[in-house]
Homo-oligomer: A and B are copies of this chain.
Amino acid sequence: MKIAVLGGGNGGMTMAAHIALMGHEVRIYDKYSRVLEGFAEKRQIHLDGVLGKDVAQLATVSTELSEVVSDVDMVMVVTPAFAHEELARKMASLLRKDTIVVLHPGRTGGALEFSRILHSLARESCPPIAEAQTLLYACRRTGLEEAMVYGLKRRVDFAVLPASATGRVAEKLCPLFSQFKPVANVLETSLLNVGAIFHPAPTIMNSAWIEMTKGNFEHYRQGISPSVALVLEKIDGERIGVAKALGVHTITTVQWLQDVYGVTEENLYSAIQANKVYSGIKAASSLDTRYISEDVPMSLVPLAHLGKLARVETPTIDAIIELASVIHKTDYRLEGRTLEKMGLDHCPIAELGNFVA
């Protein structure tokens, strides 16, 4: 297949190399030439880690979106979720109707927002939009043309908007990644957004520790102390409450840690302590971090807005959004993924199932 990978960061580089090594023709895009320049000339990425050590040859490395996404079978979007809106606008006229777009991950409402924009700009040729529940890889760019894969998730849920296109997408996507499992619809992937649980609250609840030490402590094992874990469990409960009220199947984050990492513990604090994959992961080096700038507007805000739709209160989620907004001097409740941006502002709860079907 011809496959476009959008985003040249840790995840994008890794996915581009991984897919190229399977024998597909891979084109990679990033908005910023400085991100690509390390491997733009030779178009090679040296991959190392749990996927083996090998050199992947890419077909195209470009900052021109049209050179990358035109006429491909699949577009893998591996950017921060706050880039989805702009990418959707720019891609609208470039996509074939049978191209499959996959967001790795969508955070909350990624496919909904992406699809709303494509429909508004190119109603006749709108492709199905898939969203993964999380990124497959634990990985880091380790050099100009090198990426290291530390681990793979055992299982990655994905869903497609419209859900009726799930079979067609699965046919092409699952052969690439055996970990990918289709679920009912994009509400299920969007509501099982564990980044919303793991990222913003532990960052904000350790603000000065981050600023005083440049994040020189472990985000999970140290930053999620017993009291921080209580707050995360409360946020998780609010997320589950919203899902229930909307009639969407979901699981606890503790259960997710068991499904994805094989950790069997009863509460979130113990499960995080027991998860060896989290060992050594450093906290953000400053509060200018995607743990806030991506996970608040693209995860907590849409969860809070879905709560409004469901008439479920989300006071702890709201508290984290408020503190993030003060720290970043940005009204994330307005700037983030609102019901309007997800195309749900005129959708009654009873119609939600049909809307994503």
Contacts and interface: CB of A to CB of B under 8 A. Distances in A.
Contacts of A227: 207-208, 211, 287, 327
Nearest to A202: B208
Contacts of A234: 326
B230 A222 contact: no
Interface stretch (A147-155, A169-177, A317-325): A317-325
B230 A326 contact: yes
Interface in A309-356: 315-316, 318-320, 322-323, 326-327, 329
A86 to B, nearest CB: 27
Contact of A231 (B211, B225, B226, B326): B326
Residue among A207, A223, A318 with most chain B CB within 10 A: A207
A205 B322 contact: no
Contacts of A226: 211
A224 interface: yes
A294 to B, nearest CB: 17
Given A212-B222, A222-B212, A224-B208, A231 B323 contact: yes
Nearest to A208: B225
A316 B209 CA distance: 20
A206 interface: yes
A261 interface: no
Number of this chain's copies in the assembly equals 2
A214 B202 CA distance: 17
A186 B208 CA distance: 34
B202 A205 contact: no
A318 B327 contact: no
A217 interface: yes
A228 interface: yes
A19 interface: no
Contacts of A228: 207-208, 211
B209 A208 contact: yes
Given A231-B323, A326-B316, A225 B202 contact: no
A55 interface: no
A122 interface: no
A112 B287 CA distance: 40
A204 interface: yes
Contact of A225 (B207, B217, B224, B315): B207
Interface in A144-185: none
Contact of A222 (B202, B208, B225, B323): B208
A193 to B, nearest CB: 20
29 contacts: A202-B208, A204-B205, A205-B208, A205-B323, A206-B206, A207-B231, A208-B209, A208-B217, A208-B222, A208-B223, A208-B224, A208-B227, A210-B225, A211-B225, A211-B227, A211-B228, A212-B217, A212-B222, A212-B225, A227-B287, A230-B326, A230-B327, A231-B323, A234-B326, A315-B322, A316-B323, A319-B320, A319-B322, A319-B323
Interface of A: 202, 204-212, 217, 222-228, 230-231, 234, 287, 315-316, 318-320, 322-323, 326-327, 329
